[in-house]
Structure 1
Amino acid sequence: MQEELITSTHNLRWGCVESRIESKRLLYGRFAISPFEKGQANTVGIAMRRSLPGGIEGSSITSARFGFGGVEHEYYAIAGVRESIHDILINLKEIILRSDSHEAQKAYISAVGPKKVTAGDVIVPSCVEVIDTAQPTATPNTPISSDIELTIERGRGYCARDFGRNKRDGDFAIDAAFAPTRNANYSIHSFGSENYANEILFVEIWTDGSITPEEALYEASQNLIDSSIPLLHSGEGEKGYDVGDKTSSITPQPFQSISIPVAIEEVTKDVAFRHILIDRLEPPARAYNCLKEVEVHTIADLLDYGEDDLVRIKNLGRKSVEQVLESLKKRFAVNLRG
């Protein structure tokens, strides 16, 4: 069965057809995977859509201990600090981190006002990286020392805080949003003849910047593969194999990794470009209006033109053409013919 699985996926090609950096806190990637037989793309798309948001590990601040004396509850107002404890906890929750350690880590904030304390003031161990250092944390207005001890942990999904962890004055648990995937979506497009149609699966992924969309796609795929390993041995040994049964006589065999080339087939590119609007190039208003006038609505429409053809479009101009060509090359690694 394992050999059949590997053989059936040899012809799959995948690649990133679009990627962009919205901000430090938002990365976007669009991937094409093909060819699937009819119905298979939807099965894979649903599985990926469910695995991406909650199945990928991330890092988050899970507790904070304040060095201010007499802090009894989260709505406590600190003298000389603009924010309450509650406001500071909300700001700490918004700090995006990338950690290479599976162990809990300690981080610290030690700043003297007056100043605006940001995520860049957090002192983290070498295995932890702060993604957006501009995230506000607190604003002491007087020469007061802001000392906060933070706990950083790894996990999946969303973990509501445990109020029982507030064991000492000034020690507060924080709701942890571990998931680095902000959103995921998929769409399916058919190609080929009416009697023998194949499908292309497009997967869109938005991440918080702690991982790239490509890393998210890889980890979600690996999670699905790991979940399927016991099924490869469902006909061996005892009936009703239990994944959680440590004493089972069935020993899972190593799952042979499948090498999928990065380059996608030309037909996949063609279909992908037919569904990407020229808005993604973020052209100047003049260029956008001129292209719309000649019925250029998608990247595929634009690729029907050469550079000389664009120059001849009324009111477009050489400078606008250069901007369009530069954006096309930067975002999709495509050059128009001369």
Structure 2
Amino acid sequence: MDDELKYDPINYDNNIYDTPNFFIQEEISRHEKRDSIYGDYFISNIPQTLGTTYGTVIRQALLNWVPTTCIAYFYIPKTLLHGYRSMSGIRENIADIAQNLSKIIIQNDDLSLVSSEGFLNVSVGVDEESKEVLGRDIELPAGMQIINLDEYLFTINPDTEVNFRLLIEVKTHADLSYQKQEDPGEIVKEPDPAYNFDITPEEKAKIEGIKLAEILAEIEKQPARIATGATFQAVFNANFTVQVFVLHPNFTENFEKIRISFFTNGSCTPRIAINEACKNLSNKFSRLTGKLEILDKRDQEYLAKQEALKSYKPLSEVKVEDLPVQGSKKLSTPSKPKKKTIKGDSLPESNRKIHLEALKLSARSYNCLKRANIHTVGQLLGYSRGDLLKLKNFGRKSADEVAKVLQGLGFSLK
């Protein structure tokens, strides 16, 4: 840590977590003048050679998968726009205002919210002096508060009134990779329910019988939506180190210990950050096991397409007599031919010599069969399901797997 940065320790009642697999120790300190919070996590009892893998995955999760609350867009009346990059009555241009709004740090008690609205209403009279607008002038919904209240936003001139509507969103840094990159100060078009943007104003005027000037005036009344270019990244400067140590003299295997250190911008504590990061990391891997109950829209569409494809038959299986007669409403689907299963006694000698490697079984099933001196299909078909269950570490799932693989090849157990 830099010598210029002095951090005071934050006292927690439980800063040590002892789990069956890991030993986790936590050290957190806050900067005296800045809003950032420093967190140090020591994770022990990690099997050797896995420390670097764990550290890399947790670091990437901290940098990309921590939900962060930021001001994503702000809406201003188009009448305030003077040209394209400046606003009447405000010294800064649109890009500078957008960048300053993106620096606002918001602490949010409910990270499940997708979006909400805030407001920035400031006015200066004719006889008053110019005023600096700061972060404390922003009005946020309940459950949110601004950490950097003295953050400078812009300066307004006398006889000026500013009314901004702010769109506050909760995203992760990884979510930005799924959408178009928007530069700070970029005016973004947003479809409004009162106007159909799928057709041109000229076509709308012709269809609805309205004057073109009225439609253009209606569009002009809509506020301009301007992107702030927020990065939605609450964690920065995340690093890790790995150290090998001997857990106990009687243990033959050494273990590793990793130290993960990072900063948060103050919108959340390091404990919340690492909790949310590992929670999202767990959800990513749970997709592989099929245990994730809540699927996003892309997963639902994919599963719906896969389910629809099951109702289609290959053209080679459709016969002429199965095609619908003219006037019929339903298409009779041909019955699927049943596979003939071959018992072990009637199995040809060439198939008896097929090795178990060709069946592509799981490692658990394959190793159990090998330990029982079962090396070929012919030897395997000499066993019944009950005989297989008597093998050591060979359970029902392994028996179901073997029976399913053999059935797919047209074989069956004894």
Considering the TM-score relative to the shorter chain, is it more than 0.5?
A: yes
Give TM-score, length-normalised by structure 1. Answer: 0.61
Q: Which residue in the other structure is 1:197 paired with?
A: 254
1:78 correspondence with 2:88:
yes
Q: Which amino acid aligns with 2:254?
A: A
Q: Which has the larger radius of gyration?
A: 2
Q: Which residue in the other structure is 1:327 paired with?
A: none
Consecutive unaligned residues of structure 1, counting only runs of 5 or more, are: 1-8, 235-241, 250-338
Q: Which residue in the other structure is 2:270 paired with?
A: 213
1:165 correspondence with 2:165:
no
Consecutive unaligned residues of structure 2, counting only runs of 5 or more, are: 1-18, 125-129, 192-221, 292-297, 308-414
SS at match of 1:177: coil
CA contact (8 A) 2:63 2:238 kept: yes
Task: Please give the alpha-carbon distance, in whole angstroms, between the structure 1 residues aligned to 2:269 and 2:123.
Answer: 35
Q: Which amino acid aligns with 2:277?
A: A
CA contact (8 A) 2:59 2:240 kept: yes
Q: 2:235 pairs with 169, 176, 181, which one?
A: 181
Task: Please give the alpha-carbon distance, in whole angstroms, between the structure 2 residues aligned to 1:74 and 1:155.
Answer: 29
Mean CA deviation greater in 193-202 or 107-116 = 193-202
CA contact (8 A) 1:55 1:223 kept: yes
Q: Which residue in the other structure is 1:227 paired with?
A: 284
User: Shift in Å at residue 21 of structure 1?
Assistant: 2.8
User: Shift in Å at residue 146 of structure 1?
Assistant: 2.0
Q: 1:136 pairs with 152, 167, 170, which one?
A: 152
User: Shift in Å at residue 190 of structure 1?
Assistant: 1.7
Q: 1:117 pairs with 123, 128, 133, which one?
A: 133
Distance 1:73-1:205 versus aligned 2 partners, 3 A rule = farther
Task: Please give the alpha-carbon distance, in whole angstroms, between the structure 2 residues aligned to 1:73 and 1:246.
Answer: 49
Q: 2:43 pairs with 33, 53, 57, which one?
A: 33
1:88 correspondence with 2:97:
yes
Q: Which amino acid aligns with 1:57?
A: P
Task: Please give the alpha-carbon distance, in whole angstroms, between the structure 2 residues aligned to 1:228 and 1:55.
Answer: 13
Task: Please give the alpha-carbon distance, in whole angstroms, between the structure 1 residues aligned to 2:115 and 2:28.
Answer: 36
CA contact (8 A) 1:72 1:170 kept: no
Q: Which residue in the other structure is 1:260 paired with?
A: none
Q: Which amino acid aligns with 2:91?
A: R
User: Shift in Å at residue 183 of structure 1?
Assistant: 2.6
User: Shift in Å at residue 119 of structure 1?
Assistant: 0.8
CA contact (8 A) 1:166 1:173 kept: no
Percent of residue pairs bearing the same amino acid type:
23
Distance 1:246-1:27 versus aligned 2 partners, 3 A rule = same
Q: Give RMSD over aligned pairs.
A: 2.9
Q: Which residue in the other structure is 1:43 paired with?
A: 53
CA contact (8 A) 2:103 2:230 kept: no
SS at match of 2:284: helix
Which structure exhibits the higher relative contact order, with contacts defined as CA atoms closer than 8 Å and separated by 6 or more residues?
A: 1
Mean CA deviation greater in 156-165 or 214-223 = 156-165
Task: Please give the alpha-carbon distance, in whole angstroms, between the structure 2 residues aligned to 1:230 and 1:10.
Answer: 25
Instruction: Give CA-to-partner distance per residue, 1:212-267, whole Å, 9 cap, x none.
Output: 11111111111222222244569xxxxxxx97654699xxxxxxxxxxxxxxxxxx
Distance 1:111-1:233 versus aligned 2 partners, 3 A rule = closer
Matches within 5 A, 1:5-20: 10-20=20-30
Task: Please give the alpha-carbon distance, in whole angstroms, between the structure 2 residues aligned to 1:198 and 1:169.
Answer: 60
Q: Which residue in the other structure is 1:301 paired with?
A: none
Task: Please give the alpha-carbon distance, in whole angstroms, between the structure 1 residues aligned to 2:101 and 2:273.
Answer: 24
Give TM-score, length-normalised by structure 2. Answer: 0.51
CA contact (8 A) 1:73 1:170 kept: no
SS at match of 2:156: coil
Q: Which residue in the other structure is 2:66 paired with?
A: 56
